[in-house]
Structures are given as structure tokens and as C-alpha cells.
Amino acid sequence: MNSIRKQKANKLLIILRGLLVIIGGFIAAYGLETVLIPNNVSDGGVTGLSIVSSELFGLPLGALIAIINIPFIWLGYKQIGKTFALFSIIGIISLAVGTVLFHHTSAIIEGDTLLVTVVGGIILGFGMGLALRNGGALDGIDMLAVLLSRKLPFGTSDFILFLNVFVFIIVSTVFGLQGAILSAIAYFIASKVIHIVEEGLSGSKTFKVITTQPELLVETIRDRLGRSATYNEVYGGFSHEKFKEITCVINRLEETKLKEILNEIDPKSFVTVYDVAEVRGGNFRKNNIH
């Protein structure tokens, strides 16, 4: 019975993820057709190339998005996996269909270049981020960047930047230099929104602390923050002394309070802080401190 329930739950989860990828595609299409494209602002990546091709040759944008992304979907299938490729197909089709449905919708913003880039970037980034968070991609250029980074001595982000510079040069031939600059700004804003949607606004941080008062510090963190912590035995590379390193995961809202505790108990403690994209399992849930 438990295995049957798990299978049903997994199927429902897959269906829900697929629906969210579809919604993300339609949101991105709405941002393109009602904000960016009417104001001669493009996107980066394959979508940007599709917009330029549509303007130059008068072909339907939706069809171009679907066709140009085909080889990149294949790359996603080979490099990342079948499920990712399937959700990406769903997302790209949704984006393509959405551009057709919203093509004759009136622009919600016109003329104000700053507002166009900000609002357009936010809507586009939210749609793309929603799709990525649920396992699909709306643009294939990232897949190409992953493949190139494995073959050549450069990082994925370097290739994404390089490929998009090439795209915006092409955009400038259709929308002019100003249009290309605005497109780059909108793309930058969209990338930041994608990051927020994928990881959340609050996020988490990991503190690693080497202190002379490990027991007192852990007890204080538990009493004042309601958070637990773990110990690791570490050795100084110069002194060869043995220390207890404390690891504690908190949310961003608790960061200032934890720093106050560290400064109070051991101002000379050695502290490193890491951003955490996701926390799952264990005993991360905050204990009651009231």
C-alpha cells in the first residue's frame, strides 16, 4: 500500500511540476509580447535569436522558438537527462504557444525605457525561473554553454556571457544600439529574478566557526536562536592544535543575531560563511525559543 501511495504521490508531483513549467512558459511569453518586443527590446539566448529572425524574415516567433531550440533540447537530453529534456520540451512549447496567443495583446507599457526593461525583465525572469525550478528550461543556450565548458578550459558562466554578447550584437542590427543595450539590461534583470525564483528570497547560510568556547557557543545558539549545530574535529595547519569546528545553518534573517552572539562569546573566533541554495532533511526546522 505504501509503495502504491508513493507512486501516486510521485505522479501527482510530476503532473504539478509539468503544470508549473507550462505556467512559466506562458508568463515568459506574456513578458515578451506585451512589454519587451513592442518596445523594440529583445531577450538573450535562443529566444533573442528567434526574435531577431522573426523581425528580419517575418516568420512566426513561436515557430522559430520551437525550431531553433530543437538541437539544444537534444543537448539537454544527452548532457543532463531524459526528464530534464521532457520538461524543457513542455516549457519551450508553452513559450512558443504563448507568444502566438499574446501576439495581438496590447502592450501594457510603452515608451518608458527604464520601466520597460525592469518590468519586462522581471516578468520574463519569473517565468523562466518558475520553469527552471520545476526541472525545465525555456532557452537552450545554457545547455550549449554546459557542453562547451566541458570541452574547453572556460567556465559555464563565461560561455553564457560570450554567447549572449554575440546574440546582442545581432540584436543591434535589428533594434539598433539602444535596443541592444536595453535588451542586455532586461536580460541581466531577468537573470537575477531567475536566481531569486530558483532559490527563494530568504535563502539560508552556513556558518563554520572555530572558537575557544565551542560548547558555550552551541548552547547559546540553541537558547537564543532555537538552532542546532554540529561539531567537526579540525587541526591547525601551522600550530597543529586540535579544535572543534562548529557548523550551523540559519536563514538570512537570523544572520545578524548570530554575528552578535559570536562577537559576544568569542570576538576572535575564525568564521567562514557560505550561501546555501537549499536545505532539506535533518533537523533544520527551527525550535521554539519562546
Tens-digit pLDDT profile for residues 54-66: 999 989 999 999 9
Counting Cβ atoms within 10 Å, is residue 134 exposed (0-12), middle (13-18) or buried (19+)? buried
Residues 236 and 289 sit within 8 Å (Cβ to Cβ): no
Is 19 within the bounds of a domain?
Answer: yes
Read off the C-alpha cell for 203: 535563502
Residue 289 lies in a domain: no
- Predicted confidence at residue 31, as pLDDT, reads 95
More confident residue, 5 or 225: 225
221 neighbors 262 (Cβ within 8 angstroms): no
Contact at 8 Å (CB) between 100 and 62? yes
Q: What is the pTM of this model?
A: 0.76
Q: How far is CA 223 from CA 37, 216, 254, 266, in A?
A: 54, 10, 13, 17
| pLDDT of 290 higher than 50 | no
Given a cut of 70, whether residue 146 has pLDDT beyond it is no
136 and 222 together in one domain? no
Same-domain status, 173 and 93: yes
Residues 86 and 210 in one domain: no
Same domain, 139 and 252: no
Mean pLDDT over the full length of the chain: 86
Check residue 58 and give left, alpha or beta (phi > 0: left; psi -120 to 50: alpha). Answer: left
Among 172, 199, 226, give the residue marking a domain's end.
199
Q: Give CA–CA dist 91/82, Å, rounded.
A: 14
Which pLDDT value is given to residue 139?
86
**Alpha carbon distance 27, 127 (integer Å):** 5
Do 210 and 180 fall into the same domain? no
Q: Which residues have C-beta within 8 Å of that of residue 101, sequence separation ≥ 6?
A: 26, 29
Whether residue 188 is found in the same domain as residue 254: no
Residue 283 lies inside a defined structural domain of this protein:
no
DSSP 37: G
Q: Are residues 137 and 238 in the same domain?
A: no
192, 228: one domain: no
Q: Where are the alpha helices (DSSP H) in 102-155?
A: 113-133, 141-151
- More confident site: 94 or 228: 94
Q: Say which CATH number the domain at 231 has.
A: 3.30.70.120
Q: Are residues 60 and 139 in the same domain?
A: yes
Residue 7 lies in a domain: yes
Decide: 116 and 109 in contact? Cβ < 8 Å.
Answer: yes
Q: Is residue 284 situated within a structural domain?
A: no
Give the pLDDT of residue 289. Answer: 54
Mean pLDDT within 4-20:
86
Q: What is the pLDDT of residues 250-278, one digit of tens each?
A: 877 788 889 999 999 999 899 999 888 77
Q: Answer whether residue 179 is part of any domain.
A: yes
Higher-pLDDT residue of 12 and 7 is 12
Does pLDDT of 192 surpass 80?
yes
Q: Which three cell numbers stand for residue 286?
A: 527551527
Burial of 240 (0-12, 13-18, 19+ CB in 10 A): exposed
Do 154 and 225 reside in the same domain of the chain? no
Give yes or no: residues 193 and 211 share one domain. Answer: no
Residue 117: give the domain boundaries.
2-199
| Count of domains for the chain | 2
Comparing CA positions, the residue from 90, 91, 103 lying closest to residue 32 is 103
| Residue where one domain finishes, among candidates 199, 230, 248 | 199
Name the domain boundary from 199, 233, 251: 199
The predicted structure's pLDDT at residue 256: 85
Query: Alpha-carbon dihedral of residues 76, 100, 22, 66, nearest 10 degrees?
Result: -10
- Residues 105-133, mean pLDDT to the nearest whole number: 91
d(CA 177, CA 246): 53
User: 191 in a domain, yes or no?
Assistant: yes
- Do 7 and 96 reside in the same domain of the chain? yes
Of 214, 224, 220, the closest CA to residue 271 belongs to 214
Three-state SS at 16: helix
Percent of the chain with pLDDT over 90: 45
Q: Is 64 exposed, middle or buried (0-12, 13-18, 19+ CB in 10 A)?
A: buried
The answer to whether position 257 is within a domain reads yes
Residues in the chain: 290
In terms of pLDDT, which residue wins out, 11 or 25? 25
